[in-house]
Structure 1
Amino acid sequence: MTVSWSALAERLTGLQPVPEPTVVAILGVVALACVVLAWPVTRMVVTVAHEAGHAIVALLAGRRLTGIRLHSDTSGLTVSRGRPQGPGMVATLLAGYPAPALMGLGAAWLLASGRALLVMALLVVVMAGMLLMIRNLFGLLVVVIGTTLVGLTAWYLQPVHQSWIAYFLTWVLLLAAPRPVVELARQRSRTSDPAQLARLTGVPGGIWILLFGTVTVGSLIAGLGVLAPGVLRWG
């Protein structure tokens, strides 16, 4: 089966049904259960988004991306070349922890206007780009599985089910993003993002952790207001 570029563009920019508020709430509860009960899996989703954030900002800052690794302990590493100091390096280090939350918030805004298929298409594009830079077998396996599952969902499922999957993934990103920041606050690693930012800028690592927490929690609250506005209404 062949599909023209114009037909593909029309499909991607088309609208999918926005689920009923009850369905959105149920998907949020299921996502929260996954964050609590299946953390190693949801933590890997967050890690993929985290490393994608580093990689995208590194490229935007004019750095040369040399590799991405994803490890079985759910950690990751993105390596880029360029000036070891300066705004580009700071922006690259700064991008990781906020990335899952900001991706989730952006997806929430698209979903509110019925763009579920576009959300999944953007996820596929990001992961497909990561495939070119993955430098270890486990990371390759994770990204291939993720790209395949989201791609098959976008291509074969009915629009209503595409919306459900897109809402679920968005909830996962929003709900899971703050947890790694909490874990980070308990660590004393000299190689962590805030530790490196502290050495580069002179701003204490705790301030950077506070910033990460503010962005992730703020994005969760904003995303909640977009996906389930009734929850935030008082009176």
Structure 2
Amino acid sequence: MDSTTTAGIWDRLTGLQTPPALWLVIVTGLAALAAVGLRPLWKLSRNAVTIAHEGGHGLIALLTRRRLEGIRLHSDTSGVTVSWGKPTGLGMILTAAAGYPAPSLLGLGGAALLSAHRITLLLWAATVLLLAMLVMIRNAYGALTVVLTGGTFVLVSWFATAEVQAVFAYLVVWFLLLGGVRPVFELGAKRRGGGAPDSDADQLGRLTHVHPVAWLLLFHAVALCSLIGGGRWLLNL
């Protein structure tokens, strides 16, 4: 790769891109809402939220110096991240707490980039994160899911027009912001029904001796605050 090509890629990565018209931003938000709110679509789209959820566990495990054994994604949209290290303490607590907030916080970060007109940077950063996660996937379905998701980002980033890239980026960020909310409500419903005894909230309750409902409320707060703040950035309010 010559210096001219490298400079061109760098300029593209660090340059500013034109955001879509406000009506398109609203349309992408409504499309993301449909993907999250309509049950048939949610059964499929929830896989992307699971990728972010398990990726959050994995990233924090690495940052807290736990040994990340691997990540598995399942066809029922569940997932599991296995890490080794001290079974108690701050590292384990942060790792267990990272899953549910991860999609919302990724969406909030994406909204910040889009509000700064960094569309290309967002798409490439997402591709890099998916590639890094692929290395840690330990089952075929999980690998297929991450490859298809990452491949979509690559195709859009390299071959789509600037307008299509912008619409795709806004759709993804809206989806993360909205998709981070529904799983928390689903978890609350399962716990009220006596299910999910080993959920992240229940594990955190045992680790910290703080009632799982308090952790559930924290998950709700992160998801809703991220949606409100990210939505304002996307709508340029």
TM-score range, shorter chain: over 0.9
Matched, 1:40 2:47: no
1:222 partnered with 2:232 = no
Distance in 2, Cα, partners of 1:49 & 1:80: 17
Between the aligned residues of both structures, percent identity stands at 47
Hey, what's the Cα distance between the residues in 1 that align with 2:6 and 2:71?
30
- AA aligned to 1:126 is L
Structure 2 residue identity aligned to 1:160: E
Q: Which whole-Å deviations, capped at 9, do the CAs of 1:149-185 have from their partners, x for residues lacking one?
A: 1111101111121111000000000111110000111
What corresponds to 1:157 in structure 2? 160
Residue of structure 2 in register with 1:202 after alignment = 209
Equivalent residue number for residue 181 of structure 1: 184
Instruction: Give the aligned partner of residue 14 of structure 1.
Output: 15
CA contact (8 A) 2:54 2:79 kept: yes
Shift of 1:5: 3.8
User: Match of 1:195, as an amino acid?
Assistant: D
The equivalent of 2:105 in structure 1 is: 102
Q: Distance in 2 between matches of 1:89 and 1:110?
A: 30
Give, in angstroms, the shift of residue 229 of structure 1: 4.0
Give the SS at the match of 1:73.
coil
* CA displacement at 1:190 relative to structure 2: 2.3
Structure-2 residue corresponding to 1:121: 124
Q: Is the 8 A contact 2:54 2:71 kept in 1?
A: yes
Please say if residues 100 and 177 of structure 1, whose CA atoms lie closer than 8 Å, have aligned partners that are also in contact.
yes
Q: What does residue 62 of structure 2 align with? A: 59
Distance in 2 between residues matched to 1:42 and 1:229, nearest whole Å: 26
Which residue number in structure 2 is paired with residue 29 of structure 1? 30
Counterpart secondary structure, 1:186: helix
> What code does the residue aligned with 2:207 have?
L
Aligned to 1:233: none
What secondary structure, in the 3-state scheme, does the structure 2 residue paired with 1:78 have? strand
Q: Residue 4 of structure 1: CA displacement?
A: 4.2
Range 90-99 or range 34-43, more displaced: 34-43
| Structure 2: segments with no counterpart, 5+ residues | none
Superposition TM-score, scaled by structure 2 size? 0.93
Q: Is the 8 A contact 1:55 1:78 kept in 2?
A: yes
Residues 5-38 of structure 1: CA deviation (Å, up to 9, x unaligned): 4432221111111111111001111111111221
Equivalent residues of 1:16, 1:160 under 8 A apart: no
RMSD: 1.4
DSSP 3-state at the match of 1:31: helix
Distance in 1, matches of 2:106 and 2:199, equals 21
Q: Distance in 1 between matches of 2:146 and 2:233?
A: 28
Aligned partner of 2:83 in structure 1 is: 80
Equivalent-residue separation in structure 2 for 1:171 and 1:85 (angstroms): 35
Count of matched residue positions in the alignment of Structure 1 and Structure 2: 230
Shift of 1:132: 0.6
